[in-house]
Homo-oligomer: A and B are copies of this chain.
Amino acid sequence: MQSELECLICLLNQALNTVILATEDINLQREVINRTADWIRQADLVQTPAAISTEVYRIVSELTGVDDPYKEIKEQTNQEALHMLPDLKKMINESADQLDTALHLAVAGNIIDLGIGHNFDLKKDVISILKIPFAIRSVHDFKKELYPGQKLLYLGDNSGEIVFDRLLIELILDHGVDVTFVVKSGPIINDALMQDAVTTGLTDIVPVIESGSDDIGINFKRASKEFINTFITSDFILAKGHGNFGSCDERSENLYFLLKAKCPVVARKLGVKTGDIVFKH
């Protein structure tokens, strides 16, 4: 998808949210804002939101010298999510529609505030998300894909969230589907890297490959041969979150997008309301 003017505004938010993690130096923070303002002038809206946003994280890293500003947050969210794992498994096992519950949990992992210490309301937050109906729900199509020998490529999104993904993947594996999980090749926002896949036990249950780059979503120009080959030969692809949606929505492969529409640009593109959760074939 192409970017819109609203995406340019979002760039400054992303710059500030990230630079305050990288440095407390107010002058350096201001320099990042100014360099982002320069980028806003130049950014071509024909590019995807993922592409124009990725540049912002490059600016932060270049000016602050901090390669991975979200490193600590990612570790915290993984631990917090792992801590919840037994409860989450119980939720799925006890539910009438296990696939629907697992899909909801996979979205919940992207929404709830993980990693900010022990939050005793987390379980309550998750339960409230389970009650939200999908605004678009391609479960009928998806179920037809679930039979032995089918190859699924699962495009991961954030750290922490991947623990929730693991539960959905376990359910899919039960159908005899071959699942390959994708992490980024280098730090970008709080996206899961190979280390996160190892920490959260994902590498124990499925092959995990890298996207080939440190871009938000998938940058097909920088993707590895291994990734591209797996992408085009998979029977179906499950893509989590905004970044993967915005960079893969015009591909011709058999894609399922699982996300919360967090901004009006993505919501309009999907024909839903901001805040809606979507599982779209």
A residues with a Cβ closer than 8 A to B are 5-6, 8-9, 12-13, 16, 26, 29-30, 33-34, 37-38, 40-41, 45
Q: Are B38 and A41 in contact (CB under 8 A)?
A: yes
Chain B residues positioned under 8 Å from A41 (CB to CB) = 34, 37-38
Q: Least Cβ distance of A225 to chain B in Å? A: 37
Q: Is the CB of A33 within 8 A of B29?
A: no
Query: How long is the Cα–Cα vector from A16 to B10 in the complex, in angstroms?
Result: 12
Task: Report the minimal beta-carbon distance from A81 to chain B, rounded to whole angstroms.
Answer: 27
A6–B30 alpha-carbon span in the complex (Å):
10
Q: A30 CB to closest chain B CB, in angstroms?
A: 7
24 A-B pairs in the complex with CB atoms less than 8 angstroms apart: A5-B16, A5-B26, A5-B29, A5-B30, A5-B33, A6-B16, A8-B12, A8-B33, A9-B9, A9-B12, A9-B13, A9-B16, A9-B33, A12-B12, A12-B40, A30-B45, A33-B40, A34-B40, A34-B41, A37-B37, A37-B38, A37-B40, A37-B41, A38-B41
User: Which residues of B have CB within 8 Å of A8?
Assistant: 12, 33
